[in-house]
């Protein structure tokens, strides 16, 4: 059997979706987002702060040949490689708010922009390589946790040109998708090294870069593609191009690091750093360790899909490796916590304890610094998409508490500070967007539970406010009230999220039958197949179709599990199995939608294991596992062994669940039970349980 790292296809999700023709339930789901995965294959380290790979200006990661699109099929453009960049987002949109700084371009002759084509592209965890067709150069990259190392083989030698002004999408996409450097200071520190300070136009966070080219024959600063005679250069012209150039022989290595603190801190990262081959070997070993935290028994095709999705779940967020960031945060690159809090962060919290602790402290610091819970934490963009959500960090902080029992009072203090910023909710007992109302009440329910467990006096207030979730549901339809705007979805998509009291949630619908009827419409049990939307200029939500978003987006990925509360777990099983069969696949087209920082890929990991974490609650529900068995090395130090009794290839339905020999009722267990480990036996059948 292959080692887990050899199962990973880092190209998964890099392009337009290419999925099996949908049948049954899956044919009834409308994809609302662009039908691409938006991942990249670049050399990355688990939760590392730096990556390295080809830059074309494609949307949205700077890689590939796709134009910007929010819906349907993405148009393409004639993508040429402009060099090799470093700080890449994974899965999210709005590239102008993110970054592809320090663009390295090999070449010969006079300085000029690069526009070449790739061939012989190869990649694996921690390694990326390709050949430039016109130049004939072999370009290889690897990374450590803090440093990128380039290796170039340029026939007869040439130069390595570093563009410090380049980022954003391809220029032809217009200013909306670009993000200029508004200030830069460059200096040569020797004939083989250089350093720079840049400040971005969007966000204004200074970054400090250091470069070292041990085999360089000489170095210079350049401005608008002309070499300068000085060792220092300051630039405040947003339209200028500028950077460094190292003259090199046929074979050369380039080391790149950056810091949030100072140039000296960036330079320190390059001292005594391992060579290219040493770093590649070490990073491969780290990836093997991280991926092996979850071991599965399955056939080769499923192992590839599983471990490729697990790999993409571990790219973001990024660790600052001990440096302070905004608000003294240790982790950044949460593209949108709105996407990540449901499956991506709970996965990290469950099996990666160091990262779990770092994220928890980062969220506490962010709330303290901003006096509310931000929705995103990238480098270069200081704002949030406010319509996405509120108090979402508290869900992840509660997830941390329920797994590790730590930071309870710090979490409650942060929640109290955050709550005070939501004056509309506190004064009116309701918010304009009803999804925000559910965000707030769900977060407060989590805080009330923590307060109850530690005997904190805030329990009563949090409980009282949490109970206001009922205000946004229509007692006639049982759905969320229509008098609200809904972001990337409709009232139907959000009506079946996991409320803190699901039994009461079902009761306010009027009857169990009414609740089931509304869910059946959403998932397609009672309506015909949909014609999948392809027009990238039209929002598919304007078509007025009531539909589950088919794991193409994160808005309603928890909704299938609401059938558990009305005694129809068999429908939960049918939905998650249809998703794994028809919506996820191998290769560049294998992720169904905009995989925001691992949110869709982590959802697959949970579904394949037969589990789903309810964010912010001490609750994990059972789905329908597709693996034969799995071993999870938990963050608490324990081990959870999942054994599937029955053949998952032909059996969909769950007959019974036992944890350490004890029958689990209602297809649900607590987070604490899961984190204690032991053996979870999920028995399957080919007919629904009676």
Bridge partners (DSSP) of residue 377 are: 334
User: pLDDT at position 213, please?
Assistant: 98
For the chain, the domains span: 1-33+292-316+504-690, 42-273
Question: Quick one: CA torsion of 360, 489, 178, 126, rounded to 10 degrees?
Answer: 50
User: pLDDT at position 203, please?
Assistant: 67
- CA angle, corner 497, sides to 613 and 13, nearest 5? 65
N-to-C CA span, the chain: 38
3-state secondary structure 27-90: HHCCCCCCCECCCCCCECCCCCCCCEEEECCECCCECCCECCCCCCCCCECCCCECEEECCCCC
The CATH classification of domain 42-273, taken from the options 3.20.20.140, 2.40.50.140, 2.70.98.10, 1.10.1520.10: 2.70.98.10
User: pLDDT at position 207, please?
Assistant: 92
Output the six-digit token pair for 250.
Answer: 């046929």
Q: Are 146 and 31 in contact (CB under 8 A)?
A: no
Q: How far apart are CA 621 and CA 604, in angstroms?
A: 15
| Residue labelled with tokens 């890929």 | 601
Question: Quick one: CA torsion of 312, 132, 86, 203, rounded to 10 degrees?
Answer: -110
User: pLDDT at position 89, please?
Assistant: 87
Output the six-digit token pair for 67.
Answer: 């134009």
- CA angle, corner 346, sides to 283 and 656, nearest 5? 115
Q: How far apart are CA 195 and CA 257, in angstroms?
A: 10
What tens digit of pLDDT does each residue of 379-417 get? 865 566 788 999 999 999 999 999 999 999 999 999 999
Outline where DSSP puts E strands in 238-354: 242-248, 251-259, 294-297, 318-319, 331-332
What tens digit of pLDDT does each residue of 194-223 get? 999 998 776 678 899 999 999 999 999 999
Backbone torsions φ then ψ of 195, nearest 5 degrees: -150, 155
Beta carbons within 10 angstroms of residue 421's beta carbon: 15
What lies within 8 Å, CB to CB, of 544 at 6+ separation is none
Query: Is residue 440 classed as helix, strand or coil in its secondary structure?
Result: helix
Q: What is the pTM of this model?
A: 0.97
CATH number for the segment(s) 1-33+292-316+504-690: 3.30.2080.10
Backbone torsions φ then ψ of 555, nearest 5 degrees: -55, -40
Rg (CA), the chain: 25
Q: How far apart are CA 128 and CA 255, in angstroms?
A: 15
Which stretches of the chain drop beneath a pLDDT of 70?
94-97, 179-180, 202-203, 324-328, 380-384, 690
Q: How far apart are CA 675 and CA 667, in angstroms?
A: 17
Q: Are 500 and 441 in contact (CB under 8 A)?
A: yes
Q: For residue 413, is the peptide bond before it cis, meaning its omega torsion is within 30 degrees of 0?
A: no
Which has the closest alpha carbon to 207: 326, 355, 60, 64? 326
**Kind of pairing between the strands at 678-685 and 639-645:** parallel
């Amino acid at each position: 059997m292959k080692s887990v790292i050899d199962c990973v296809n880092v190209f998964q999700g890099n392009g337009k979706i290419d999925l099996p023709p949908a049948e049954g339930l899956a044919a009834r789901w409308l994809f609302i987002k662009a039908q691409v995965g938006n991942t990249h294959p670049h050399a990355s380290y688990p939760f590392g702060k730096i990556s390295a790979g080809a830059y074309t200006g494609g949307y949205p990661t700077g890689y590939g040949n796709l134009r910007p699109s929010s819906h349907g099929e993405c148009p393409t453009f004639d993508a040429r490689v402009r060099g090799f960049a470093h700080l890449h987002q994974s899965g999210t949109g709005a590239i102008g708010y993110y970054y592809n700084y320090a663009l390295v371009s090999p070449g010969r002759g006079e300085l000029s922009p690069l526009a070449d084509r790739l061939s012989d592209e190869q990649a694996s965890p921690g390694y990326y390589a390709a050949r430039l067709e016109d130049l004939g150069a072999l370009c290889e990259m690897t990374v450590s946790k803090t440093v990128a190392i380039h290796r170039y083989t340029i026939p007869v030698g040439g130069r390595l040109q570093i563009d410090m002004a380049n980022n954003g999408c391809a220029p032809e996409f217009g200013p909306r998708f670009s993000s200029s450097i508004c200030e830069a200071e460059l200096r040569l520190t020797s004939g083989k090294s250089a350093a720079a300070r840049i400040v971005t136009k969007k966000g204004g966070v200074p970054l400090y870069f250091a470069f070292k080219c041990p085999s360089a024959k000489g170095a210079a600063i350049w401005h608008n593609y002309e070499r300068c005679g000085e060792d220092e250069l300051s630039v405040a012209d947003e339209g200028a191009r500028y950077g460094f150039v190292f003259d090199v022989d046929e074979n050369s290595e380039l080391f790149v690091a950056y810091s949030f603190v100072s140039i000296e801190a960036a330079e320190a990262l390059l001292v005594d750093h391992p060579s290219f081959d040493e770093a590649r070997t070490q990073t491969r070993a780290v990836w093997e360790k991280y991926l092996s935290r979850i071991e599965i028994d399955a056939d080769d095709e499923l192992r590839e899909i599983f471990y490729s999705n697990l790999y993409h779940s571990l790219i973001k967020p990024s660790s600052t490796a001990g440096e302070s960031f905004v608000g003294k945060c240790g982790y950044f690159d949460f593209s949108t916590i709105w996407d990540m809090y449901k499956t991506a962060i709970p996965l990290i919290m469950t099996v990666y304890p160091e990262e779990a602790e770092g994220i928890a402290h980062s969220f506490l610091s962010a709330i303290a610094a901003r006096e509310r819970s931000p929705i995103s934490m990238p480098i270069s963009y200081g704002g949030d998409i406010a319509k996405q959500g509120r108090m979402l960090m508290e869900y992840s902080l509660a997830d941390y508490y329920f797994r590790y029992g730590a930071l309870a009072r710090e979490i409650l203090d942060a929640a109290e500070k955050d709550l005070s910023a939501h004056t509309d909710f506190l004064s009116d007992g309701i918010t304009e967007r009803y999804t925000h109302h559910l965000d707030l009440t769900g977060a407060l329910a989590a805080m009330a539970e923590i307060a109850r467990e530690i005997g904190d006096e805030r329990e009563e207030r949090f409980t009282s406010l949490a109970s206001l979730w009922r205000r946004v549901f229509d007692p006639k339809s049982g759905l969320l009230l229509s008098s609200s705007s809904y972001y990337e979805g409709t009232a139907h998509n959000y009506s079946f999220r996991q409320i803190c009291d699901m039994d009461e949630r079902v009761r306010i619908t009027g009857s169990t039958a009414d609740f089931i009827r509304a869910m059946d419409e959403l998932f397609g049990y009672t309506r015909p197949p949909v014609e999948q939307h392809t027009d990238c200029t039209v929002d598919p939500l304007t078509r007025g179709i009531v539909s589950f978003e088919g794991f193409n987006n994160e808005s309603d990925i928890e909704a299938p599990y609401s059938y558990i509360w009305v005694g129809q777990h068999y429908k939960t099983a049918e939905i998650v199995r249809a998703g794994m069969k028809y919506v996820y696949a191998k290769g560049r087209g294998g992720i169904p939608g905009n995989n925001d920082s691992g949110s869709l890929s982590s959802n697959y990991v949970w579904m394949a294991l037969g589990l789903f974490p309810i964010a912010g609650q001490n609750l994990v529900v059972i789905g329908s596992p597709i693996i034969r068995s799995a071993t999870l090395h938990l963050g608490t130090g324990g081990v959870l062994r999942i054994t599937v009794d029955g053949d998952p290839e032909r059996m969909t339905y769950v007959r019974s669940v036992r944890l350490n020999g004890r029958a689990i009722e209602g297809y649900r267990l607590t987070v604490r039970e899961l984190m204690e480990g032991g053996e979870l036996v999920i028995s399957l059948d080919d007919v629904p349980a009676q």
